C-alpha cells in the first residue's frame, strides 16, 4: 500500500473528522459554557456545561499519583495507533469493514481525549450531561460517545460470533 492510498483511507478520514469536530466543540465550550454545577443536572434533560475530568471514566483513577494516572490514561491510546498502522500497512491483521469502522471510532475518541490531556493540563473537557430526575449520565463528550459506541459494537460483534459458534456445535 502506498503512502497516498494510506492517507486517503476512509477510516483515517473518519478519525480525523471526529477528532477535529470534538476538539472544535471543546474549544467553543471552554469559551461559552459555564462551569458545571449539581443544580444544573437536576433541572434539565440535557445540560451543556464545562466539567474538566482529571480522573478518567467514572473517576476510576482518583487515588492514583498524577504520573501513574497519566500513564494509565494515555497508554491505551498509544497502543491503538500502532495497531491501526500495522492493520493498514501489512497483512498480519485483516479487519472486516465493520471492525475497521468500530476501531476508527475507538481510535478517534481515544486520540481526541489524549489531546485534551495535553491541551488542558491533564484534564479531559466534558460538556454534555443527560438526565431526567434521579437518572443522570454524568458529563461526557463526543470522544466518549465514540469510545462507548465502539465498545458496545465490539461487544455485540463478539457475542454474535460466540452465538454463531455455539449454534454450529449443536
Model confidence at 21, pLDDT cuts 50, 70, 90, reads very high
How many Cβ atoms from other residues are within 10 Å of residue 52's Cβ?
16
User: pTM of the full predicted structure?
Assistant: 0.78
- 58: cell is 467514572
Q: Tell me, yes or no, whether 41 lies in a domain.
A: no
Helix (H) or strand (E) holding 167: helix 142-169
Is residue 2 one of the residues assigned to a domain?
Answer: no
pLDDT in tens, 101-122: 888 898 899 899 989 988 988 8
- Considering only residues 20 and 7, tell me which one the structure prediction assigns the higher pLDDT: 20
Asked whether residue 127 is domain-assigned, the answer is: yes
Q: What is the pLDDT of residues 140-149, one digit of tens each?
A: 999 999 999 9
Give the range of the structural domain holding residue 123, as residue numbers without chain letter.
12-31+46-169
Identify whether 124 is part of a domain: yes
Q: Is the pLDDT of residue 1 over 50?
A: no
Q: What is the pLDDT of residue 108?
A: 92
Number of domains in the chain: 1
d(C-alpha 18, C-alpha 85), whole Å: 18
The answer to whether position 112 is within a domain reads yes
Mean pLDDT value across residues 66-79: 78
Q: Is residue 64 part of a domain?
A: yes
Please check whether residue 114 lies inside any domain of the structure: yes
| CB atoms near residue 128 (< 10 Å) | 20
Q: In which band, very low, low, confident or very high, does the pLDDT at 4 lie, cut at 50, 70 and 90?
A: very low
Edge-to-edge strand order for the sheet containing 135-140?
46-53, 124-132, 135-140
Helix axes 97-119, 66-89, angle to 10 degrees: 150
Distance CA 120, CA 52 (A): 8
Note the pLDDT of residue 22: 93
Whether 68 maps to a domain, the answer reads: yes
Distance CA 159, CA 139 (A): 29
In order of 38, 39, 59, the CA distances from 146 in angstroms are 25, 27, 19
Which of the pair, 86 or 17, is modelled with greater confidence?
Answer: 17
Amino acid at each position: 500500500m502506498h503512502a497516498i492510498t494510506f492517507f486517503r483511507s476512509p477510516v483515517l478520514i473518519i478519525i480525523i473528522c471526529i477528532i477535529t469536530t470534538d476538539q472544535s466543540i471543546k474549544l467553543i465550550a471552554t469559551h461559552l459554557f459555564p462551569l458545571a454545577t449539581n443544580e444544573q443536572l437536576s433541572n434539565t434533560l440535557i445540560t451543556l456545561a464545562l466539567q474538566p475530568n482529571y480522573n478518567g471514566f467514572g473517576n476510576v483513577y482518583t487515588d492514583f499519583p498524577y504520573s501513574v494516572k497519566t500513564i494509565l490514561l494515555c497508554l491505551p491510546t498509544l497502543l491503538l495507533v500502532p495497531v491501526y498502522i500495522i492493520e493498514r500497512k501489512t497483512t498480519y491483521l485483516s479487519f472486516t469493514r465493520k471492525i475497521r469502522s468500530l476501531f476508527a471510532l475507538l481510535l478517534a475518541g481515544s486520540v481526541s481525549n489524549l489531546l485534551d490531556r495535553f491541551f488542558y493540563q491533564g484534564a479531559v473537557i466534558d460538556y454534555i450531561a443527560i438526565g431526567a430526575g434521579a437518572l443522570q449520565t454524568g458529563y461526557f463528550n463526543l470522544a466518549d460517545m465514540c469510545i462507548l459506541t465502539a465498545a458496545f459494537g465490539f461487544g455485540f460483534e463478539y457475542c454474535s460470533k460466540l452465538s454463531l459458534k455455539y449454534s454450529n456445535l449443536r
